[in-house]
Amino acid sequence: MPSTEDTLKSLKATMLFRDVPAADLAAIGETFITESHPAGKMLFDANSPGGSIYIIERGAVRISRVTTFGEETTLDVIGRGEVVGEMASLDGRPRSARATCLEDCVLLSITRGRFEELLRANQTVAFNLLRELSGRIRKADDNIVQRLEEQRRALETQLGKLHRLMDASRIINSTLDLDKLLGLIVDAAVTSIEADRGTLYIVDDIKKELWSKVLQGANMVEIRLPIGKGIAGYVAETAETINIPDAYADPRFNPDVDKKSGYRTQNILCMPMKNKDGKTIGVFQLLNRREGSFTTDDEQFIDAFSSHASIALENARIAQEMVQNERLSAVGRMASVIIHDIKNPMGTLRVYAQVMKKKSGNEEATKLADEMIRQVDRFVNMTQEILDFTRGVSASNFQDLDFAEIMDGVMAFIEKDLEKNNVTLVRKASYAGTIRMDQDKMVRVFYNIASNARDAMPQGGSLTVSTVEDDGFVRIDFTDTGTGMPDEVKKRIFEPFMTFGKKHGTGLGMAIVKKVIDDHGGRIQIESEMGKGTTISIFLPTKH
């Protein structure tokens, strides 16, 4: 317990009792009680009735208010020699704020009644209290002005972010072309957070890959990487944000890319792009902020921007589907008209060919009649197949068939067509077994691929067709010595209306090919190099 002498020393050190005579101060000291309170102790809360008044002998006390949003806002922090809780004594109203010990405190307390008596009896003390209150008001004014200034700056910052977000959103919604849109999204993200460069990867759920398009020279090149691999792959897999202030100090960063490109990566911000359902559909990877490292504000901006970007991508996808569906519908209407118009004359031609075959008695005429029948059937079936594809119809006639026998017939048919174009057919069949398939559809698949190979060799060449058993599948390889195809075409070859190097055709051939193979439970893959030819491999299951 502190002595009376200690209490007097503490009172003398306060502004409240400055210039008070020693005799008066000794009498005043007897009215105070010394209290000790630990850090975190609440002396009183807002709206509580006024009780004791405190003078801080040691420690610090936080004066605060709780806002309607539940936030506790600091109004002031007072220390040694200052008075706490005097307002309720002066105006007789409940406490206006909360007082909490910031650290272990030693306080001199006096009851409200005795404090009021002291003020009435001692003008010096009352005048000193007015001085302290005046100082408190000035300090509060300064704090309010400072907080208002901080809020103004924060509001300006938020408005700036909003304007940047609106500008970026306006830019990316200016096109429905997917390739152009990807570039606009990256440019808007890079510009908005002042990065040096960036990449937007799109998630391919089917292949479990990320893909993006980057400019190499004058060409746009597609790059792919597995989900889960590298920083971008990790973000795609976990939907976490990765903010690396020093790339070379982080073990997750692979410096090999810098070594190959000559670029120096300093810092990285990698974030998921999510759609309205919260699903990760892409990954932003932004490099080298112009000033310092990427900040929390940058993360918040990209997070908000990704919502707009995902909507723009979805709109572009829907628009492309609408255009594609309309084109398919137009082709379907055309195919329907063709089938309606040619069914009768084609049927008549077929009957005439059959009659010629029966009555000619000539071997050459019989072969010609068979060829006419095959071509008529092929034309009608091909047109019907296009019509079915545009309507989304998928009816198949599966049978267990001798695969070698089917391939012999197909190769004989294909060879005649290739010979007319100075293309040599090389057969390397090694598989002999039964395959369950729709013969007519699969024959048209083989013929379509062979026709494309023929068109890729306008000056002649060779087409090698090989068959081999491959882990539960029969693999059929069509390898030509033609012009090959660029990566961009190879990636899109199965899209409807995609053509390359052909002046004829609907652009639906390879899309129908893939649909037929998918219906058979198989798969198709392409390897091609410009100037060196193409290999198309079909895998059909040997067991069902």
What would the pLDDT profile of 250-283 be if each residue is shown by its tens digit? 888 888 878 887 889 999 999 998 888 888 888 9
In this prediction, residue 1 carries a pLDDT of 46
Which of 72-76, 220-224, 388-392 is modeled with the greatest confidence?
Answer: 72-76
Do residues 254 and 338 share a domain?
no
Task: State both tokens at 478.
Answer: 């069509």
Number of domains within the chain? 3
With 0-12 / 13-18 / 19 or more C-beta atoms within 10 angstroms meaning exposed / middle / buried, residue 451 is: middle
Do residues 390 and 531 share a domain?
yes
At 106-162, the pLDDT tens digits run 999 998 888 888 888 888 888 888 888 888 788 778 878 888 888 787 777 666 666
Residue 316 in any domain: the answer is no
Residue 501 in any domain: the answer is yes
Whichever domain contains 238, its CATH number is 3.30.450.40
Residue 312 in any domain: the answer is no
Instruction: Give yes or no for residue 246 having a pLDDT over 80.
Output: yes
Residues in a beta bridge with 224: 211
At 66-115, the pLDDT tens digits run 877 778 888 888 888 888 888 877 777 888 899 999 999 999 999 888 88
Residue 185 in any domain: the answer is yes
Residue 159 in any domain: the answer is no
Do residues 177 and 121 share a domain?
no
Instruction: Give yes or no for residue 376 having a pLDDT over 90.
Output: no
> Residue 249 is part of which domain span?
171-303
Instruction: Give yes or no for residue 163 having a pLDDT over 70.
Output: no
Instruction: Give yes or no for residue 488 having a pLDDT over 70.
Output: no
Whichever domain contains 353, its CATH number is 3.30.565.10
Residue 73 in any domain: the answer is yes
At 34-48, the pLDDT tens digits run 999 999 999 999 888
At 198-220, the pLDDT tens digits run 888 888 887 788 888 765 444 55
Do residues 424 and 533 share a domain?
yes
Do residues 190 and 271 share a domain?
yes
Final residue before a domain boundary, out of 89, 112, 146:
146
Give percent above pLDDT 90 in the chain. 9
More confident residue, 1 or 354: 354
Reported as type and span, the H/E element at residue 95 is none
Do residues 278 and 336 share a domain?
no
Residue 164 in any domain: the answer is no
Phi-psi region of 531 (alpha: psi -120 to 50; beta: other; left: phi over 0): left
The pTM for the full model equals 0.47
Whichever domain contains 120, its CATH number is 2.60.120.10
Do residues 99 and 204 share a domain?
no
Do residues 187 and 259 share a domain?
yes
Asked if residue 116 lies in contact with residue 53, where contact means CB atoms within 8 angstroms, the answer is no
* 152 Cβ contact list (under 8 Å, min separation 6): none
Q: What helix, strand, coil percent values describe the chain, rounded to 5?
A: 50, 25, 25
Do residues 299 and 337 share a domain?
no
